[in-house]
């Protein structure tokens, strides 16, 4: 069964303290892996798409990487405004469905 698991469930960082969020996936076929940011009371906001193992994408303090079994979202020197829930999703090639993980709630303290 297609599955996406994110860890940790919650993460508290001091401002400037770099860390990584993990997204592990088991799918019959991967069309793409996506990272979204969700702020309280708002819809998910698209961040990155990764298509194949070894691919990396960067945007400001965020860098997403992909292997055949997992993806990491690296946050370098985070700021309080990076506080949000980060969602990982996969688009499967078998059923063309989008499957989301349960997210990592990130809190960055000033």
Partner 1 sequence: DTAVSQTPKYLVTQMGNDKSIKCEQNLGHDTMYWYKQDSKKFLKIMFSYNNKELIINETVPNRFSPKSPDKAHLNLHINSLELGDSAVYFCASSQGQEQFFGPGTRLTVL
Q: Which residues bind partner 1 (CB under 8 A)?
A: 31-32, 34, 36, 38, 41-46, 49, 85, 87, 89, 91, 96-100, 102-103
68 CB-near residues (< 8 Å, 6+ apart): 53
Rounded to whole angstroms, how far apart are CA atoms 39 and 32? 23
Q: What angle do CA 102, 54, 17 make, to 5 degrees?
A: 55
CB closer to partner 1, 18 vs 102: 102
CB closer to partner 1, 18 vs 97: 97
Find the shortest distance in angstroms from Cβ 77 to partner 1: 26
109 within 8 A of 80, measured Cβ to Cβ? yes
3-state secondary structure of 15: coil
CB closer to partner 1, 3 vs 18: 3
CB closer to partner 1, 16 vs 46: 46
Using the 8-state DSSP alphabet, how is residue 42 labeled? S
Using the 8-state DSSP alphabet, how is residue 95 labeled? T
Find the shortest distance in angstroms from Cβ 2 to partner 1: 12
Find the shortest distance in angstroms from Cβ 13 to partner 1: 19
Find the shortest distance in angstroms from Cβ 96 to partner 1: 7
């Amino acid at each position: 069964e297609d599955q996406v698991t994110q860890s940790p469930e919650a993460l508290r960082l001091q401002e400037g303290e770099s860390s990584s969020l993990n997204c592990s996936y088991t799918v019959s076929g991967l069309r793409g892996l996506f990272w979204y940011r969700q702020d309280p009371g708002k819809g998910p906001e698209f961040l990155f798409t990764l298509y194949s193992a070894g691919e990396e994408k960067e945007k400001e303090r965020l860098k997403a990487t992909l292997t055949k079994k997992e993806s990491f979202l690296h946050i370098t020197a985070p700021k309080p405004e990076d506080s949000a829930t980060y969602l990982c999703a996969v688009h499967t090639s078998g059923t063309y469905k989008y499957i989301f993980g349960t997210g990592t709630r990130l809190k960055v303290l000033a």
